[in-house]
Amino acid sequence: MTIQKYITLLSVIIILVSCKQNQKKPVPVTDNDIVEEKEIIEKNKTPIRSKTDTLYYVYANGLTFREQPSLTAKKISTLKYLEPVYLLKNHPDKQETISDEGNTIIGNWVYVRLLNGKKGYLFNGFLRTVNELDSLPPKGMLAEELLINGKLNIKSTKEEFINVLGKPDSIKSFIVVEDDDLVGEKNEYYYEDIYYIEENVAEYFGTEEGDLMWYDSPETQLFYKNGVAYEELNNEISFLSINFMSDENNFLDYDGFRIDSQTTKQEIITIFPITTKENKWCYENKEEFCSFDFGFMRTKDTGSEISWNLSFTNQKATTFSFYYYD
């Protein structure tokens, strides 16, 4: 069984046993390419979307976000490729002509809101509606855009893991054995309030067999804490998965947008219009059990493609996990 199929099936099993909740029907896309949703409020009370907002996407990486509608106005930040923005007010009287790689771009300034609630001005010559994105490549999730529970990076140290999440609930380690008959046997015990699992593995243990994700060493340990899983090797910690259903406080911060057990599939489709269209998988083709893949290339070795898998049950997010192809 390939790693992709194994992880996807594992996610499906997790979401199938999760408690079902009453859900609202997904909201369709209108003829104006605007997802008309009721106002979605994050737990920090930041409005994400209202009926009067028009959704656009930035198609020029590095577009400047400014305090006022002027090229000389103070810069707030630069926006990323395919970052969604919500149009609050159009300013057709504030026209601008920009030269971009020999091309003349004509447009005007618009007042917008970002996912994180920040408001400011953009030049609309580099904005597109969802139906104008078909010819563009998709955008995945970058490691530097993600924070586990809003604090812990995808890669960190053991000390940072403990400082943010606390001591692991359990730790799994591996012991290489020569006798194949002993492979799979486990020694389990408690020590200082941590549940330890020691599993016997074969000499050929490693990513070739799909035993681990980030590291190709049996010295790797797996850390688990309240539904969050990490790999550890030589004091380096790398994220594996987070279960939003096992702890209501578990969430993923994606570049200022909170993903947790209340995040809807429609919200993710809004943020990633191309990726969710091209990389969608549903268990037995059932819409109530679906997941999306967000891929990028691995840097620890060559030739492996890394993906994040975000799974949903009945339109609500359940798990976010990591896997790769060799």
* Average pLDDT, integer, range 287-296: 81
User: What integer pLDDT is reported at residue 228 of this predicted model?
Assistant: 92
- pLDDT beyond 90 at 125: yes
Q: Is the pLDDT reported for residue 118 higher than 70? A: yes
- Could you read off the pLDDT of 165-198 as tens digits, one per residue? 889 999 999 988 888 888 889 999 999 999 999 9
List, in sequence order, every beta strand (DSSP E) within 101-193. 103-113, 119-123, 127-128, 146-148, 152-153, 155-157, 170-176, 186-191
* pLDDT at position 258 over 80: yes
- Annotate 62-84 with DSSP letters as a single string: TEEEESSSSTTSPEEEEEPTT-E
State the average pLDDT over residues 285-291. Answer: 86
| Over residues 114-126, mean pLDDT | 92
Contact 184, 199 (CB under 8 A): yes
Query: What is the pLDDT of the chain when averaged over all its residues?
Result: 78
Look at residue 9 in the predicted model and tell me its pLDDT.
44
For residues 244 and 242, give the distance between their C-alpha atoms in angstroms, rounded to a whole number: 6
Residues 92-120 have a mean pLDDT of: 91
Instruction: Please give the domain boundaries of the chain with CATH numbers for all domains.
Output: 3-24+141-325 (no CATH), 40-128 (2.30.30.40)
Split at pLDDT 50, 70, 90, the class of 205 is low
Query: Amino acid identity, residue 147?
Result: L
pLDDT higher than threshold 60 for residue 237 = yes
- Give the model confidence (pLDDT) of 58-75 as tens digits: 988 899 999 999 999 999
Q: How far is CA 306 from CA 113, 161, 223, 225, 321, in A?
A: 31, 22, 20, 23, 11
Mind listing the pLDDT tens digit for each residue in 10-52? 454 444 434 333 333 332 323 333 333 333 333 333 444 444 4
